[in-house]
Amino acid sequence: MASFFDTTIKFLEKAAPSLDANRELLPILYAPKRTVKVAIPVKMSNGKMRIFEGWRVQYNDALGPFKGGIRFHQETTEDEVKALGLLMALKNAAIGLPYGGAKGGIRVDPKTLDAIELERLSRGYVDILYPLIGPSRDVPAPDVGTNPQIMAWMTDEFSLLSGFAESAAFTGKPQIVGGSAARNAATGYGGFVVLREVLKMTKNAGKIKTVAVQGVGNVGSHIINFLDEAGFKVVAISDSKGGMYDKKGLKVREICSKISGGMLGQCEIGAPNITNESLLALDVDLLVLAAMEGQINESNVKKVRAKMILEMANGGITPLADTYLEKNKVMVMPDILASSGGVVGSYFEWSANWQRSAFSKEDVFTKIDDFMSRTLSEDYEFAKKRNINLRSAAYSLAIMRILEATKVNGSTHA
């Protein structure tokens, strides 16, 4: 099976024929500008020393400082971090943010660490990477397994090393230390805006009613609330342990209010009655992917019966599965667009930190709405003009912007 990075490159190559110019520069996107591997020593609470393996991939900075999250996960690999760094570069370019793309990861199950160990690990990662990150160089944010508290520790460590407060060094922080009031809900809200705009453009508003959502972490738990408030009927939700299904519709608000630690299995309302694999095969109007990469692939794509898919998870659909879905007229709202609300929210947090100011939650939502609506309009028109799908259109526009910036910067060597 192809690696996550290889599948991401395949999406890039699929979009290449739609490029208008600078094709000779395309190879710069086939490998990251810098990959840093780290070994982080942490004194555990039992007094023993443990070494944690991690990475920071700074993929491309033609459009601005590197930007991308840090994930703590027991199955994180260099290949995964590299693929996510490329996706971040493309995502930021696709939606018109003045950022490059990066990603970080540490191979660890954060649930196995106590708070002291987790703080030591977080600060240790910053200690090693300090010369290569910062508000004008590389701006990390939360991802899978990390949260605002971890970003607060990392920001504080960076500030201690700098000798002065550097709130713009990280985004996704708690609001009390310069974080955005809208950051936790930003990714979910951005995905909802993408769905809303696509339904308008395709004249499907009002026709898409039933929804299944895979993944009820930070992103999934917020988007199901937005969907519920907008009148969609959420019939199934799941996490890594299993899910809940009721064809009459789930009590979304009640369930979300009782989810403990992002785990549906710890919710007191009902017991899991559907597997993740079964959820993907439900006969629903809309399927939302808000878990990990590769969930819809060659082995299960023929079981998918949803009319539309909102890909909130980075790399949620593999290239071969994506081709199958396109041939069978299943509209996919791709990750490069659907999950970009979070980085738009991060951009306004970063901007406010530079200005020593703050934006209200309503201000940020309005800005996300404006960004996403404009981006969707450009992408949809480009897709119609070239007779390609939304993913290829978004990739093409992103690649063209990165390559044009590369040419203008004159950063290639003769």
Is residue 289 within 8 A of residue 317, CB to CB? The reply is: yes
Catalytic (active-site) positions: 103
Per residue of the chain (414 residues), what is the pLDDT tens digit? 678 899 889 888 888 887 877 888 999 999 999 999 999 999 999 999 999 999 999 999 999 999 999 999 999 999 999 999 999 999 999 999 999 999 999 999 999 999 999 999 999 999 999 999 999 999 999 998 999 999 999 999 999 999 999 999 999 999 999 999 888 889 999 999 999 999 999 998 888 999 999 988 878 888 988 999 999 999 999 887 778 898 888 887 777 665 554 555 545 455 567 888 899 999 999 999 998 888 999 999 999 999 999 999 988 999 899 999 999 999 999 999 999 999 999 999 999 999 998 888 899 999 999 988 998 999 999 999 999 999 999 999 999 999 999 999 986 654
Tell me the C-alpha distance between 339 and 314, whole Å: 7
HSE on the CB side for 128, CA within 13 Å? 19
Is residue 255 within 8 A of residue 237, CB to CB? The reply is: yes
**Domains of the chain, start order:** 32-179 (3.40.50.10860), 184-338 (3.40.50.720)
Q: Reduced to 3 DSSP states, what percent helix, strand and coil does the chain have, rounded to the nearest 5?
A: 50, 20, 35
Tell me the C-alpha distance between 236 and 33, whole Å: 41
Please give the radius of gyration of the chain, using alpha carbons only, rounded to the nearest integer.
20
Tell me the C-alpha distance between 129 and 148, whole Å: 19
Main-chain phi, psi angles of 238, to 5 degrees: -155, 165
Tell me the C-alpha distance between 14 and 326, whole Å: 13
Tell me the C-alpha distance between 304 and 299, whole Å: 11
pLDDT score, position 315: 87
pLDDT score, position 414: 45
Which residues are paired to 52 by β-bridges?
40
pLDDT score, position 1: 63
pLDDT score, position 266: 47
Going through 108-217 in order, the beta strands assigned E by DSSP cover 138-142, 210-214
> Which tokens in the block code for residue 180?
């955005």
Tell me the C-alpha distance between 57 and 71, whole Å: 12
CA angle 282–287–288, rounded 5-degree value? 135
SS3 334: coil
pLDDT score, position 259: 58
Q: Which residue type sits at 84?
A: L
DSSP 112: G
Tell me the C-alpha distance between 173 and 183, whole Å: 8
Main-chain phi, psi angles of 136, to 5 degrees: -110, 0
How would DSSP label each residue in 335-355?
A: HHHHTTHHHHHHHHHHHHHHH
Q: What is the pLDDT of residues 200-243, one digit of tens each?
A: 999 988 889 999 999 888 788 889 889 999 999 999 998 877 78
pLDDT score, position 412: 62
pTM score, whole prediction: 0.88
> Where is 56: in which H helix or E strand?
strand 49-60
pLDDT score, position 171: 97
> Where is 207: in which H helix or E strand?
none
pLDDT score, position 256: 66
DSSP 36: E
pLDDT score, position 411: 60
